[in-house]
Amino acid sequence: MISIRIDIDECLTNNGECDVHAICSNTIGSYNCTCNPGYSGNGFECYPCYKNEYSFNDTTCVSCPVDSVSEIGSTSIIDCKCTSPNHYPNDQTFICTPCPIGYLLDDNSNTCQSNFSFFLN
């Protein structure tokens, strides 16, 4: 006798009971809930990252580098703004680092750009 197994997509009904700030992903025989960027939790309960934190790997909220600030629900280290002028949050050292000589901080991307590129705009 051949047995046919039909998968039910639990995500189609009420987002699979996942938190409103989570994504439901159907799997064969089950489903997973994952909090959205800027939130942390188990997917069934998601909480926004606090002020001066950002979400890391979309699952955990971690502190911004020392001497930097961010808003509630920040999704990346790029959202952490250094309080010292012309400094950026270095994602390798996790400290606010000054831009090299001849570079200026681009507030939109939170990265150092050549002085020359600012004169082209």
Q: Could you list the residue range(s) of the whole structural domain that residue 18 is in?
A: 1-48
Q: Which amino acid is at 26?
A: N
pLDDT tens, 61-106?
999 998 999 999 999 888 999 999 999 998 888 899 999 999 999 9
Which is nearest to 68 in space by CA: 45, 85, 56? 85
Asked if residue 30 has pLDDT above 70, the reply is yes
pLDDT the model gives residue 118: 47
How many structural domains comprise the chain?
Answer: 2
Q: Please tell me whether residue 77 adopts helix, strand or coil conformation.
A: helix
Asked if residue 9 has pLDDT above 80, the reply is yes
pLDDT the model gives residue 108: 84
- My answer on whether 61 and 101 are in the same domain is yes
Q: Is the pTM of this model over 0.75?
A: no
Instruction: Report the half-sphere exposure of 85 (CA within 13 A, side-chain side).
Output: 0
- My answer on whether 36 and 8 are in the same domain is yes
What CATH number does the domain containing 2 carry? 2.10.25.10
- My answer on whether 57 and 116 are in the same domain is yes
Averaged pLDDT, 6-26: 93
- My answer on whether 17 and 27 are in the same domain is yes
